[in-house]
Amino acid sequence: MIKKLSKSIREYKTTALLTPLYMIGEVAMEVLIPTLMALIIDNGVYNSDISYIVKLSILIVVAAILSMAFGIMGAKSGSKASCGFAKNLRHDLFHHIQDFSFKNIDSFSTSSLITRLTTDVQNVQQAFQMIIRICFRAPIMFIFAIIMVVHNGGTLVAVFAVAIPVLIIFCALFIKKVFPIFNRIFKHYDKLNRVVEENLTGIRTVKAYVREELEKEKFDASSSAIHDDFVKAQKMLVLINPVVQSVSYACILAICYLGARLISVGDMGTGELMSVFTYTMQILSSLIMIAMILVQLSMSKASAERIIEVLEAKPEMELNENGLKSVEDGSVVFEHTNFSYSGKDTPLVLHDINLEIKSGEMVGILGSTGSGKSSLISLIARLYDVTSGSVKVGGHDVRDYDIKALRDGVSVVLQKNTLFSGTVRSNLLWGNESASDEELTWALKSANADFVFTSKDGLDTVVEQGGNNFSGGQKQRLCIARALVKKPKVLIFDDSTSAVDTATDFAIRSALRRDVKNCTKIIIAQRVNSVMDADKIVILENGYIDDVGTHDELLSRNKTYQDLVKVQLGGKDNG
Ligand SMILES: Nc1ncnc2c1ncn2[C@@H]1O[C@H](COP(=O)(O)OP(=O)(O)OP(=O)(O)O)[C@@H](O)[C@H]1O
């Protein structure tokens, strides 16, 4: 785990290594000061040696200044290294997620990925800072202070033989109780993020269905679960101080009693006893620090594991970086294609699909909801990999292409396509960064999206988050235009004109026929109207191809098609 995460330290390695060195310097000075004080009392004060007192006082001031300087430098470099580490870790996670296939994204929920990128990284950052600053400081202070107690107090060290096991037992019990609570808190965070994400992305639906109160309840429930668990953890955390203070006072009382006896028989100086008191506090506080580190580490262990789970998740899709760099033509062939979303052991959503689409053809896909239409077209752009069989584009298996080349050649306007905040131009340029204004204008006109030119800003018209300043139909046409800018060999519309009226739908199809030549067009539609002039129409039923033919052929022989025409067109052949 440490090896995997430490890869993200990179340019902050030197800073991270310097931090414990500064902390060791700080501890060394802190431990030196009580001994110098003891020497002042036992030698300087006892012998009324002013010059000795002045000399050692100057040494104490120097040690205190050095201790402060090391402390500041340690804190500064610790913060710099941990913030840098967190930045790199977020970068590594985010970049890795960008390589995920749809299947990977499906397996982690979006909200869980958000928690991992934010809260979990923050926890690991805190643990990292603790490790480099306190993980060294506390044990070193403990060891130095014990050595100094043996040196100055001799047998008084025996007091710690009782105190330390008591504290260790208390800390072990504490960690055992508190760890499951923190583990639970992260799961609550996942849930809270899911509620917030769903609510904000679907805020319009929430309002349309007047679900605000229910949403508030869902949010409050998740938020209260986090609150309750934090309160439980805090209730235990507040126990630490009284327990430690009780142990400290018991140690000091024992040391007072035993030290006084040692002084009375002349085996110890008053200054030495005073220094032992200070070392006692240092020993106990370092033990508490070690306990706190263990709590923080056990808390961050859960976060670290969740981060590593993402980093180690192999993109489900093996990308062929040396694959073919361009799609020759727009032919598409399915050969005995089977597909299921979760691999071989789960039910197929597409069964033994055999289909040949010639380059330049216009193909319509019809089928009842859930029949597998979207699944079928997602295989052409390799959004998912087939479970068995193959899909060929331009005569080659889609897995033989460099993925960018394939997706440049196959443009999909998804059912739920999104516009991003920016301008119409910046959205269209997603299709092709170097497209000229003429090409963008052509794409907008072909997609029947010339409404853009009625706005005074034209291509620079602002697009708000999610394209919320456009109507559903306008958004769809902008998404179609974005797909056209790519000048693809295969253009796929997954119910992409569902939000436009029949006349606009017809206008878009006519414009596509006129302007977008030599390009295979595959259109999933609910309306027979949208596909009846296609070169062939595919009827899908329960993941199987039920029939393939032209409008006339299907009308003469296919019951499902006849029923669709009857319901939608009143039995008329409107071709
Ligand atoms: N990401 C997914 N993970 C698991 N199963 C899925 C996923 N997407 C779709 N399915 C399942 O696959 C089957 C086919 O779904 P698909 O979306 O391809 O149908 P469709 O014909 O496009 O439906 P619609 O017309 O409603 O969009 C359905 O049973 C659906 O539940």
Q: Tell me what percent of the residues of the chain surpass a pLDDT of 70.
A: 97
Looking at residue 335, its pLDDT comes to: 95
Q: Is 395 in the pocket of ligand 1 (CB under 6 A)?
A: no
**CA pair distance 278, 31, nearest whole angstrom:** 9
What is the per-residue pLDDT for 499?
66
Domains 2-312 and 332-569 fall in the same CATH topology: no
> Are the CB atoms for 461 and 470 separated by under 8 Å?
no
- Structure tokens, 42: 């036992």
CA of 562 to the centre of ligand 1 (A): 24
When pLDDT is averaged across residues 232-251 and rounded to a whole number, the result is 83
Ligand 1 centre to CA of 223 (Å) is: 33
**What single DSSP character describes residue 401?**
B
Q: Please tell me if the CB atom of residue 341 comes closer than 6 angstroms to any atom of ligand 1.
A: yes
Least-confidence region, from 6-10, 78-82, 222-226? 6-10
**CB count in 10 Å sphere of residue 21:** 14
pTM of the model: 0.67
**Domain limits of the chain?**
2-312, 332-569
Q: What is the CATH number of domain 2-312?
A: 1.20.1560.10
Q: How far is the CA of 414 from the centre of ligand 1 (A)?
A: 13
Q: Which residues contact 100 (CB under 8 A, 6 or more apart)?
A: 313, 315, 316
pLDDT tens-digit series, residues 274-288: 888 888 888 888 887
Q: State ipTM.
A: 0.95
Q: What are residue 491's phi and psi, to 5 degrees?
A: -120, 125
* List of residues 6+ apart from 368 with CB closer than 8 A: 541
Residue 199's pLDDT is 83
Ligand 1, atom 16: closest residue by C-alpha: 372
3-state secondary structure of 524: strand
CATH architecture for the domain at 332-569: 3-Layer(aba) Sandwich (3.40)
